[in-house]
């Protein structure tokens, strides 16, 4: 079964600084990969997803992620963080095919933005 | 995504009572997925339903939990005789046929507190 690890539980970053959130997955082939953001008391919003093709994926709100097969990673980045980016971020994977509705989520990384 | 409507947003139940969580999918979506987020954890798949059919309930606890998606009306996640360990955020997502979670949208969740 696939699994997802987000090594950083909590990250604090200054407004305007760059942000990188790590995500590693365990799966025998290339899974579908997702990043979601959850603001306090809100639902999940999809930031970006990767299925195949170009390994650098652009998403909403200025986020991007890079798929690295050799490292089984799908790290999320943003060049300049805004205070509104304070939230919890979840990486998720799904097995391509008939079971792609079953997302496996990491435990999340909470991002705090300081002025 | 505001298109998937969950209610109530917050629900408080005493131990032993029943909890009924509702999910109205986006217009044109006939597939619904329920996920549970326990405190300090990522989301975990519970059940996948199509209209009048349960497709996969492999993530549902064996007892006290049930789900339905009738021909008319919202999908319902029902928890009988709630216990403290049921306290969690319950999210549903919806998609069109054949899209799975690759093109699904999440609701804002129902936060269940068992006292």
- Give the pLDDT score at B33: 96
Closest partner residue to B100 (CB to CB) among A43, A100, A107 is: A100
Higher pLDDT, B98 or B108: B108
- In this prediction, residue A5 has a pLDDT band, given cuts at 50, 70 and 90, of very high
| pLDDT of B1 above 50 | no
- B101: pLDDT strictly greater than 70: yes
- Mean pLDDT over each residue of chain A, to the nearest integer: 93
B48, B91, B95 ranked by CB distance to A44: nearest: B91
Q: What mean pLDDT comes out for the span B101-108?
A: 87
Whether B2 shows a pLDDT value over 80: the answer reads no
pLDDT score, position B83 = 97
What would the mean pLDDT of B20-30 be, rounded to a whole number?
Answer: 94
Contacting A residues, span 14-73, partner chain B, CB-CB under 8 Å: 32, 34, 36, 42-46, 49, 51
Angstroms from B59 CA to nearest CA on chain A:
9
Q: Contacts of residue A110 in chain B, CB cutoff 8 Å? A: none
Q: For the ranges A35-44, A104-113, B42-51, which has the lowest average pLDDT?
A: A35-44
Tell me what the mean pLDDT of segment B71-82 comes to.
Answer: 96
Q: Is A20 helix (H, G, I), strand (E, B) or coil?
A: strand
- Of B97 and B67, the one with more pLDDT: B67
Provide the percentage of residues in chain B whose pLDDT is more than 90: 83
CA B70, B33, B28, B6 dihedral sign is positive
Among A75-84, A90-99, B28-37, B67-76, the range scoring the smallest mean pLDDT is A90-99
At A101 the pLDDT is 84
A35-B45-B85 Cα angle (round to 5): 115
pLDDT score of A72 more than 90:
yes
- The answer to whether B102 contacts A49, with C-beta atoms less than 8 Å apart, is yes
> Cα(B36)–Cα(B44) distance, rounded to whole angstroms?
5
- The CA distance from B109 to the nearest CA of chain A, in Å, is 6
Asked if residue A25 has pLDDT above 60, the reply is yes
DSSP string, chain B: -TTSEEE-SEEEE-TT--EEEEEEPPTT--EEEEEEE-TTS-EEEEEEEETTEEEE-TTS-SSSEEEE--SSS-EEEEE-S--GGG-EEEEEEEE-TTTGGGG-EE---EEEEE-
Measured between alpha carbons, how far is A83 from A114 in angstroms, rounded to an integer? 7
Predicted local distance difference test score (pLDDT) of residue A97: 80
Cα–Cα distance measured from residue A92 to residue A103, given in angstroms and rounded to the nearest whole number: 6
Check whether B109 has a pLDDT greater than 50: yes
């Amino acid at each position: 079964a696939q699994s997802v690890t987000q090594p950083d539980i909590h990250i604090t970053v200054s407004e305007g600084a760059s942000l990188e959130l790590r995500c590693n997955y365990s799966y025998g082939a290339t899974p579908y990969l997702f990043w979601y953001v959850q603001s306090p008391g809100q639902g999940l919003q999809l930031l970006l997803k990767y299925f195949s093709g170009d390994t650098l994926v652009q998403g909403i709100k200025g986020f991007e992620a890079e798929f690295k097969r050799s490292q089984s990673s799908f790290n999320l980045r943003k060049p300049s963080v805004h205070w509104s980016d304070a939230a919890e971020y979840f990486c998720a994977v799904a097995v391509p095919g008939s079971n792609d509705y079953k997302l496996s989520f990491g435990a999340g990384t909470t991002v705090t933005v300081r002025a | 995504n505001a298109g998937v409507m969950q209610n109530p947003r917050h629900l408080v139940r005493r131990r032993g009572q029943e909890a009924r969580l509702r999910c109205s999918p986006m217009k044109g979506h006939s597939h619904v997925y329920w996920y549970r987020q326990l405190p300090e954890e990522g989301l975990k798949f519970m059940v996948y339903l199509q209209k009048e059919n349960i497709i996969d309930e492999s993530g549902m606890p064996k007892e006290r939990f049930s789900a339905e998606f009738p021909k008319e009306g919202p999908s319902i996640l029902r928890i009988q005789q709630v216990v403290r360990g049921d306290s969690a955020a319950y999210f549903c997502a919806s998609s069109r046929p054949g899209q799975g979670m690759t093109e699904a949208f999440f609701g804002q969740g129902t936060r269940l507190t068992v006292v």
